[in-house]
Chain A
Amino acid sequence: MTPFIFTRLAQSVLVLFIMSLLVFGGVNLVGDPVEMLINPEADQAEVERVIRELGLDRPVTEQYWYFLVNAFKGDLGDSFIFGEPALKLIIQRMPATLELALFSLFISLIIAIPLGIYAGYKPDSKTSKIIMGGSILGFSMPTFWVGIIFIMIFAVHLGWLPSTGRGEIGTFLGINSSLFTLNGLSHVFLPALNLALFKISSVIRLTRAGTREIILQDYITFARSKGLSEKRIVLVHILKNILIPIVTVVGLEFGSLIAFSTVTETVFAWPGMGKLIIDSIYNLDRPVIVAYLMIIVTFFVFLNLIVDILYTFLDPRVRIKGDNQ
């Protein structure tokens, strides 16, 4: 177990290092941020002063070295636009993104698991075929376009729900979130449903596939021959066994919800990290771009590590294989 975790940890650090090289190198090849920042009427001396101030007159390798050293101290540079530390900007916007992703994860599980089990339990029924057809449609629908349609129907046409921004923020158990106020919930509902759409489709398919395989297992036949009710078989035997793959995927999906929230946040003008990165890319705000990408890659690398470790606990077969190595 321990060597497994160590190898994985070393690998994660290597991935982060390569990513920092790629991102930092790439960002420094594109565009000229000075042009965007400086008043076009500024004279040559002023331009040079700004370039020196931002450290852009140094060779890229030297800039990278400073970036790495500072990154270890928890300093990812100051935003060119806001003049504040990039890390602070991102952390300020993190709660908005996290609450959007959590709420949409909640929506997708509530909808997808029952539908998926049904479709796997009765694969030939009409309802199941409709569910599966719907899930292919959900896969095929571009998220941003569905978001636009939601805005058109629920905000512009019916006027039921607000379409932009985050609502009032309430406090519960010391946590500030817009999920605790009615106004906040009305704001989060459309973007969260939009973000959930793709997950709903994938969790339905996963649950269905899992159910179909489990139903053929001996222990289900055994449970049936013991005379257990179908309700108990579905709710206990099938649900419990299906949770292993779902836990893994949900863990991984949570990361992809955060990644996909860039799209949803842009459509619904949700003030989270995703919108920040898109705005920063437009403004060539290099430190924020680099900081965001590094933070999200770190997040992913460790999320995967945790899921891998959890998985070895949930499924003993993986553990035994790992120990043999």
Chain B
Amino acid sequence: MSILSQKTHGGRLAALVLLVLPLALYIIVYLVPLGSIVSLSLDNRALSDRFPALRVVLDQGAEATPDMRAAALISDLGGLDARQQGETARLLNQEISGFRSLVLETSRNAATIPPTMEALLAFDARWKNAQYWEVIARNVSPISWRHFQKATGLKPGPDGSLYLAEGDDIYLRIMLRTLVIALQVTALTVLLGYPLAYGVANAPRRWSTFILTVILLSFWTSILVRTTAWVVLLQTNGLINTLLIRLGIVSEPVQLIFNRFGVLVAMTHVLLPFAIIPMMNVMRTIPASQGQASRSLGAGGVETFLRVYLPQSLRGVVVGGGTVFILSLGFYVTPALTGGPGDQMLSWYIADFVRRSLNWGMASALSVMLLGGVLLLLTVYGLARWLMARPGKAA
């Protein structure tokens, strides 16, 4: 430990002075935005603020007569300016298709509708449909779980308990797909990376330097560039298909891209160095004398590897595999360029919600779930590493 870490009063003060700026910037530019994602996934004020009167009426429960509800709704909708009308209509339409035109027409004509249920129904009979009222009732409070409900497919039933509606499990299936792809990529990177890591640690010096250089070059080449290479290679009329046809292995081009195969190949390539480097670091600490000792006791090469080397290198496999797994959960660019609609991971849908439908609520809810998953894994992973690193445990 450097003497810089003396715990003197002066040291503490200096640390504080030095840390003020980076901490302030991190909080303002990084932590606050991350926090805003969490609040955005629950925040429903854009809707709840538009229904102050209706919230009061609905709070009265059974005492609220239909006329009271109609009057409150008409007064709330009538109080909106043009911009608020548009926004309210768009947000409510995310819940039920067609709600938009009903809200717009009612709010634009609110001044002409007498404050009774009868008059409201006379204006537009669609208000008879209880679904519309239920959606508004769910959205009059400033905090709403509706995005998480949609993300998990769990809906509150009439009795308040949650149930999984048929066909609403799309995001659950996407999360499952994300996990499966991440696991497959992890397995592939570990399998392909192990010999390379072994090579760096055990091959003659010239070879090991060469392998290491290739690994590092690959590591520092941008993910997008490496994905580009695969897009070019896997094209229907690309290098691999031309080669396969010329060799007579296939007679017409095989579909290699825009499917799961393309995603797995490209992601494995992109993440391979992340698996190799930790394995390599662990393997370098395994003394060669152990293998020699084992062989001198009569064990064969394969047996020595399986019984002496492999168990000791497993820690590197766990670290490397864990790194790849966690990184691949959040992948976006590579699957977006090499996969079809059935191969996109959670990130793609998050991006889609922001870019295509401006639905920040859903994007945030899915982001929070992805972030939560990664943080949970990191904690488990950190604990596992700590446990494995504890002296006495390895023996």
* A-B complex is real: no
Measured CB to CB, the residues of B under 8 A from A are none
